[in-house]
Amino acid sequence: MQKDLLKLLDLSREEITKILNVADQMKYNQKHNLTHNYLAGKTLAMIFEKNSTRTRVSFETGMYQLGGHALFLSGKESQIGRGEPIEDTARVLSRYCDGIMIRTYGQDEVETLARYASIPVINGLTDFAHPCQVLADLMTIREHMTRLEGLKLCFIGDGNNMANSLIVGGLKCGMDVSVACPEGYDPDPKVLDFAQSASGAAFRLCRRPEEAAADADVVITDVWASMGQEEERAKRALAFAGYQVNDALMELAHPGAMVQHCLPAHRGEEITAEVFEQHAGEIFDEAENRLHAQKAVMYLLMGGEKTL
């Protein structure tokens, strides 16, 4: 296992599978009241430069359930928000804590933090990648479909951090991946380069959502304007008109296809209320699995892989 979780591009298929297997065990343990203090006496520093509901609650709850403690550090209230170099923050927190989770804007900030920290660093979200969310997505798909390899995953919407991480995670796990984005909203070029060179699974970048969704086993979407893009909302609403997950689109997918959404959802924009509610069970399983997937990551990075 890598020292850090910065992006799924860094992980092998075997490492992703190991995280998912441990996440399944963590979920089983919780459902059967099998509590284990794998991280007893350990502390996770959580740096938030972007607001959050699921990320904060799932990491904080996960640390508690594993016997450890989580510290919330707001970017506005800590020295990092006042201009302290990220290199110094990394070295100071490494003297106090056993791990760092950061939710921020630039991927370079996370990479620098990891370079100077002597403890594990977990990417809770950047504008480039959302690895913890996609690990939860893959866990949920495998729960409902019993496998990942050979399935077709379709993403409709902005080529953002979710699209980037879904492309990488899906292809590495042997899934065919199709993405539909408007012109000018494509996934990151580094991710597209990886996708074109990936072996064992097919990748397609489409302009028409109908083309991407055809025969899909899993249909995934996200908001059209992410955090920090609020001023672009009107412009994006025009650009993404027609990129909605609705009944007509789902009729093109494989019978019994799943729907996933990382939340929060804007019903009536990227997804209709009808489709959302039809697949609410899957979507909220996905939300719950953030907890179990992240517990697996923290256990593997911070717990010394004690016997489960």
Q: What is the dihedral of CA 204, 107, 19, 172, to 10 degrees?
A: 20
Catalytic residue among 236, 261, 290, 292, which?
290
The reply, when asked if residue 103 is annotated as ligand binding, is yes
Cα atoms found within 13 Å of the Cα of residue 98, Cβ hemisphere only? 18
Annotated active-site residue 181? The verdict is no
Annotated active-site residue 133? The verdict is yes
Tokens of 78: 């800590």
Annotated active-site residue 137? The verdict is no
The reply, when asked if residue 130 is annotated as ligand binding, is yes
Helices (H), 146-199: 161-172, 189-197
Q: Cα dist. 142→138, 152, 173, 254 in Å?
A: 6, 12, 11, 16
The reply, when asked if residue 165 is annotated as ligand binding, is no
The reply, when asked if residue 263 is annotated as ligand binding, is yes
| Angle in degrees, 0-180, between the axes of helices 280-302 and 131-145, rounded to the nearest 10 | 120
Annotated active-site residue 262? The verdict is yes
The reply, when asked if residue 182 is annotated as ligand binding, is no
Radius of gyration of the chain, Cα coordinates, nearest whole angstrom: 19
The reply, when asked if residue 54 is annotated as ligand binding, is yes
Annotated active-site residue 130? The verdict is yes
The reply, when asked if residue 53 is annotated as ligand binding, is yes
Catalytic residue among 4, 127, 222, 285, which?
222
The reply, when asked if residue 52 is annotated as ligand binding, is yes
Catalytic residue among 127, 261, 262, 292, which?
262
Catalytic residue among 4, 98, 130, 285, which?
130
Annotated active-site residue 206? The verdict is no
Catalytic residues: 103, 130, 133, 222, 262, 290
Which parts are annotated binding residues for carbamoyl phosphate? 52-55, 79, 103, 130-133, 262-263, 290
Which parts are annotated binding residues for L-ornithine? 161, 222, 226-227
